Amino acid sequence: MAVVNLNFSSIQFDPQHPHIEGAVFSERRLSDLSGYFADEDAYRRCLQDGNPVLYRVYSLEQWTGEGDLAYGFGVLMPGKVGREYFFTKGHYHAWRPAAEVYIGLSGSGFMLLEDETTHESRLLSLTANSVVYVPGCTAHRTINVGSTPLTYIGVYPARAGHDYGSIERDNFRKVLIELNGEPHLMDRSAYLHQLQKGTA
């Protein structure tokens, strides 16, 4: 286990299991994302088959001064609910102007972004050695489209905070589903319509 000096720190970590002293650990299972996946029948079937861990987050948020940063390691498992790839809940920052930088460590995935005002969506690649800049006032969700865990670091202002409520209520307007073996971004409303008609 790495040891962190709170003020000056250089840590070594295993991207798959970044257990770091001082990090706050949280784990989300499938049951924690009730209502998030579009295909509710598929969601129920997945839950009956077990309640897998979708992702783990190790957050270093000890710094509280003005200008301080926080960061977190994410480990998002591969898998799908129906045709929708596993994803994180997604959130806005409670302090809306707070931006965030994501650095991909391993695996293959995307970040789905949605502007709070214009609702414009962006799907940006997140893989090993890639960097994604998430502007303020933008909802962000990580999606794993690969067959191995997607691991990454997010760096954000210490005062950013999390607002999960808006996404829990309204979700993102786009879904990322598998179509002919490839990730395909489409409107949630269109996908829900297909599911209702049984043509998805």
Residues that bind ligand S6P in the complex, under the rule CB under 6 A: 57, 72, 74, 88-91, 100, 140, 142, 154, 156, 160, 162
User: Any contact of residue 100 with Zn ion (CB under 5 A)?
Assistant: yes
Query: Which one, 20 or 200, has the nearer CB to ligand S6P?
Result: 20
Burial-class residue 191 by CB neighbours within 10 Å (0-12, 13-18, 19+). Answer: buried
The tokens for 175 are 């879904």
Check if the beta carbon of residue 126 is closer than 8 Å to that of residue 106.
no
Under the binding rule (CB under 5 A), the answer on residue 114 touching Zn ion is no
Count of C-beta atoms within a 10 Å radius of residue 7: 7
Binding partner at 114 among Zn ion, ligand S6P, none, C-beta below 5 to 8 Å by kind: none
* Residue 118, number of CB atoms within 10 A of its CB: 8
With contacts defined by CB under 5 A, name the span among 30-38, 76-84, 99-107, 111-119 that binds Zn ion: 99-107
Find which of Zn ion, ligand S6P, none residue 44 binds, CB within 5 to 8 Å per kind. Answer: none
**Could you say which of ligand S6P, Zn ion, none residue 90 binds, taking C-beta under 5 to 8 angstroms by partner kind?**
ligand S6P
In the complex, least distance from residue 100 CB atom to Zn ion, rounded to whole angstroms:
5
List 152's β-bridge partners, or say none.
Answer: 74, 104
Residue closer to ligand S6P by CB (options 134, 200) is 134
Residue 175: contacted member of ligand S6P, Zn ion, none (CB under 5 to 8 Å, by partner type): none
Cα 106 from Cα 15, distance rounded (Å): 8
Nearer to Zn ion, 39 or 100 (CB): 100
Strands (E) in the chain, as ranges, are 24-29, 53-60, 69-76, 80-81, 84-85, 100-106, 108-115, 121-127, 131-134, 138-144, 150-157, 174-179, 182-187
Chosen from ligand S6P, Zn ion, none, partner binding at 82 (C-beta under 5 to 8 Å by type):
none
Site residues, Zn ion (CB under 5 A): 100
